[in-house]
Amino acid sequence: MKNISIAIDGPAAAGKSTVAKIIAEKLSYIYIDTGAMYRALTYKAKLQQIDPENELDLIGLLKNTTIELLPGDEGQLIYLDGQNVTTEIRTSEVTNSVSTVSKHKLVREEMVERQQRFGKKGGVVMDGRDIGTHVLPEAEVKVFLLASVEERAARRHAENIKKGFPSELEQLMAEIANRDKLDSEREVAPLKKAADAMEIDTTSLSIDQVVEKIMEIAIERI
């Protein structure tokens, strides 16, 4: 048995983190939500009124920022400079500027370095946009999850309602489509399926079915 790396990429709200968490648990691997790292930086930049277009200010800020991903009872907890910001990084204010913050080369270089350090020993399930292409190009398992914008917005809407968050389906659909566009069209490490990734369209699949497909390949390669 070896400790492999599993890279899960895909557009916004495709179910990456849900699936990644279950797989990590099944294999007793660590789970790294790289989107949460970009969100944490975006949240701190907002607090300090740093312009999301200002690459030099953002990299200066990031160099003086610690971001930790720690296991909690109900999933992963995100700590920013020692403070729990798990809920704060999910607001629509953060969501709507995270793609601008994460388009910058210097920011990505620093984040990728940190993510590679987390994944160094293997035994990791990492989700994001550039994991199979840049962060873990040697990952034994690479998956690209897809679903229609309508389906992704409907899932996020149901999740929001369940959590008691305000939610508007049409608006969610527009925000998701806009984030996909920014993430796919940026110059540095855009959202893209790695040539050797397995593509799974989850539009008409249950979470269990997606997990099963990925586990089948993972077990072959362990």
Is 147 labelled as part of a ligand binding site? no
- Contact (Cβ atoms closer than 8 angstroms) between residue 58 and residue 101: yes
197 annotated among ligand-binding-site residues: no
Taking CB under 6 A as the rule, which mask of x and - marks residues 11-40 in contact with ligand C5P? Answer: -x---------------------xx--xx-
CB of 5 within 8 A of CB of 97? no
Size of the site for ligand C5P (CB under 6 A): 14
CB nearer to ligand C5P: pick between 28 and 195 = 195
- In the block, which residue shows the tokens 């034994």? 140
Q: Which of the stretches 43-51, 65-73, 126-134, 152-160 binds ligand C5P when contact is defined by CB under 6 A?
A: 126-134
How far is residue 157's CA from residue 152's CA, in Å, rounded to a whole number? 9
Point out which residues pair with 78 in neighbouring strands: 69
Q: How far is the CB of 4 from ligand C5P (least distance, A)?
A: 19
Between 119 and 128, CB nearer to ligand C5P: 128
The reply on whether position 130 binds ligand C5P by CB under 6 A is: yes
Element (H, E) at 171: helix 169-185
Q: What residue has token string 């608006």?
A: 171
What character string, x for contact with ligand C5P (CB under 6 A) and - otherwise, covers 75-114? Answer: -----------------------xx--x------------
What is the per-residue burial (b if ≥16 Cβ within 10 Å, else e) of 165-174? Answer: eebeeeebbe
**Touching ligand C5P, residues 131-150 (CB under 6 A):** 131
Under 8 Å between Cβ of 55 and 62: no
Nearer to ligand C5P, 29 or 130 (CB): 130
12 marked ligand binding residue: yes
Q: Which amino acid is at 40?
A: A
Handedness of CA 108, 23, 4, 140 (dihedral sign): negative
The residues of the shown chain that bind ligand C5P, judged by CB under 6 A, are 12, 34-35, 38-39, 98-99, 102, 128-131, 179, 183
